[in-house]
Structure 1
Amino acid sequence: MPDDERERLVLRTLEAVQVFSDAMDQMHGGLRGDMDMNASDVAALRMLIMRERSGQDVQPQDIARHLAISTASTTKLLDRLTDSGYVERRPHPIDRRARIVVVTDVARADFYRHFGERLGRMRQGMAGYTDVELRAIVRFLADMSHALIEQ
């Protein structure tokens, strides 16, 4: 056990992050069941929607890198998502030899329909926090995200 109050607080915070991570895993498991998709397909769809919101084009190799899967597995994943009407492969806007992967309106609507209820509960959970507290949480989560993905 840590000796001082700061270290105890850091430990409690890390434990809370682990509990939150487990809750996110459970939520994503629920999404997989709701959408009748496997984990990689839901993760790819979620990644595509997040990147779309930030205005980033996504190429197949970006998905492979994000999911840590082979290019062959990525091709199979994209074939499944294309066949289900969730994504389209389009020419890259600058490099016509390359392709980008784009989420369809059907996928976006289906994802948000299933995610919407969960998102509403998350918003309710934030109702008791001040703007200052929410800004601190945003900063904390961004810092933790960077700590996890940076090498």
Structure 2
Amino acid sequence: MSDRWLPQTDHERAVMRVLTSIRGMSDAMERMHSGMKGDMDMNATDIAALRLLIIREQKRALVSPRDIAQHLRISTASTTKLLDRLEASGHVERRAHPSDRRGRIVVLTDDARNAFFRIFGERLRAMRDMTMRYDEESLSVIARFLDDLAGTMDPVR
């Protein structure tokens, strides 16, 4: 167990301010995701799987059931139940992998994608509008910082 860190220099106080801001953003994201559970009538694991699919889809990355299991840190049996539930509710489809005959991928349905953006479109627009206030150089630094921070917190990403 480490001792509580008390910043002593201006630089350390600036670091503490950033870390405090990150905690505030994390709390706001958690509240937003909790709201999503109620709005979409799903549990937290289902929502986390859909978020993963949305993020990977934006990166044009394929997602296997194994990727979902690793991301959520759940067993393959739990992943199968999760995917059965999401497929039955019309949120995902399991398809053949385009280049591996033995593999399967999981994709969002248009209905799931539309529901997500219908429910969170206003929040996403507000976040985009706020971000537009920063110049390209600042945005580059912010993106690099957030990517580095995410890698520090979750090296598996």
Correspondence for 2:123 among 118, 140, 143? 118
**Counterpart in 2 of 1:107?**
112
Partner of 1:37: 42
Task: Name 2:28's counterpart in structure 1.
Answer: 23
Structure 1 runs of 4+ aligned residues shifted over 3 Å read none
Distance in 2, matches of 1:148 and 1:139, equals 14
Shift of 1:127: 4.3
CA RMSD of aligned residues (A): 1.4
Question: Secondary structure of 1:58's partner?
Answer: coil
Give a deviation string over 1:96-148, Cα, whole Å, max 9, x none.
12211111111111111111011112123334333332222112111111111
Task: Give the Cα separation in 2 of the matches to 1:4 and 1:115.
Answer: 40
Counterparts of 1:48 and 1:54 in 2: how far apart (Å)? 10
Q: SS of the residue aligned with 2:67?
A: helix
- Among candidates 84, 96, 100, match of residue 95 of structure 1: 100
How many angstroms does 1:17 deviate by? 0.6
CA–CA separation in structure 2 for the residues paired with 1:16 and 1:82: 38
1:26 and 1:53 map into 2 onto residues whose CA distance is: 23
Deviates more, 1:77-86 or 1:89-98: 89-98
Take 2:113 and 2:40, find their aligned partners in 1: how far apart are those partners?
Answer: 12
Q: Which runs of 5+ in 1 are unaligned?
A: none
For 1:145 and 1:55, locate their aligned partners in 2 and report how far apart those are by CA, in whole Å: 20
SS at match of 2:55: helix
In structure 2, runs of 5+ residues without a counterpart are: 1-5
2:105 is aligned with what amino acid? Answer: I
Look up the equivalent residue of 1:57 and give its one-letter code: L
Query: Quick check: 1:141 aligned with 2:146?
Result: yes
Identity in percent: 56
User: Quick one: distance in 2 between partners of 1:97 and 1:130?
Assistant: 46
- Cα separation, 1, equivalents of 2:94 and 2:130: 37
TM-score (norm 2): 0.90
Instruction: Look up the match of 1:59.
Output: 64
User: Which residue of structure 1 aligns with residue 84 of structure 2?
Assistant: 79
Correspondence for 1:130 = 135
Mapped partners of 1:87, 1:50: distance in 2: 14
